[in-house]
Amino acid sequence: MKNVLLVGCGRNFGYDLTKCYLNAGYSVWSMGSHSIDDCNFLEISWETLGITRLKEIVEHLPNLDGVFFNHYAGIQIKFDDLQVSNNRQELRNWTYTQWINCQMPVYLIKLLTSKISEHTKVGWQLGWGNSLTIDKNNTQWQYMPYGLQKITNFMIMRAFAQSRKGIYYATFPGHLTEDNRRERAEKIFKIQESIGEQDNGRAIHFDGTDYI
């Protein structure tokens, strides 16, 4: 049986993706704050997650065939809402989201060194922030911290692809709605299943084409 670690896949799209892995016969290790039936649940608090808890989690994991980071934890910081008068708290929030969404996966992968083989697939879920070609008038630019963290995830993925054993990739599910969520999860799962050494460092659109 294959083993996969899914991070932040307890709800919405992540829940549907988890079900795809379970239905395919995987042993799923789910790291997050929401449990799913038939998974090995690794409960965390996103507000307090640190290196000590990551080390505890790694001790419980088997050798892995896959790892996937689907999480985006923290508040949505809107650029126009940043206030000099509230600067200290906003900086804490910004720093916190950077740790959880960008730095934490780096340290987790390094802790997993002995459990990741040259065939292990390690992926990130991308978002609109990775598309530097979106129109300059698009209001999504207001959520600049989110975009910065997503492009950072992409750059981290590429760095690992060039420096560590494993197959590193990223996927983009497009705009998700209640109506298309399950279908997109199934498409992303099929992409993940088909990934091979030739896809190391690749960012893939849900339709199978190159995203970036």
Q: Is the pLDDT of residue 8 over 90?
A: yes
The model's pLDDT over 149-199, given as tens digits with 9 standing for 90+, comes to 888 999 999 999 999 999 999 999 998 999 999 999 999 999 999 999 999
Q: Is residue 212 part of a domain?
A: no
Rounded percentage of the chain residues whose pLDDT exceeds 90: 74
Q: What is the pLDDT of residues 37-62, one digit of tens each?
A: 999 999 999 989 999 999 999 999 99
Gyration radius (Cα) of the chain, Å? 17
Answer yes or no: is 22 within a domain.
Answer: yes
In a domain, 210, yes or no: no
- Count H helices, E strands: the chain? 6, 7
> Measuring CA to CA, which residue among 182, 180, 183, 160 is closest to residue 170?
160
| 160 in a structural domain | yes
> Domain limits at 89?
3-205
Instruction: Check pLDDT > 90 for residue 17.
Output: yes
- Beta-carbon contacts of 132 under 8 Å, excluding residues fewer than 6 positions away, are 151
* Residue 79 forms part of a structural domain: yes
Q: Is residue 26 part of a domain?
A: yes
Report whether 204 contacts 130 (CB < 8 A): no
- Alpha carbons 53 and 45: distance in angstroms, whole number: 10
Q: Please give the pLDDT value at position 77.
A: 65
Angstrom distance (rounded) from CA 27 to CA 20: 11
> Per the domain annotation, does 161 fall within a domain?
yes
Q: Which residue has the higher pLDDT, 209 or 135?
A: 209
Its pTM stands at: 0.92
- For residue 207, give every residue at least 6 positions away whose Cβ sits within 8 Å of its Cβ, in sequence order, or none: 187
CATH code assigned at 199: 3.40.50.720
Domain count across the chain: 1
Q: Is residue 211 in a domain? A: no
**Coil, strand or helix at 172:** strand
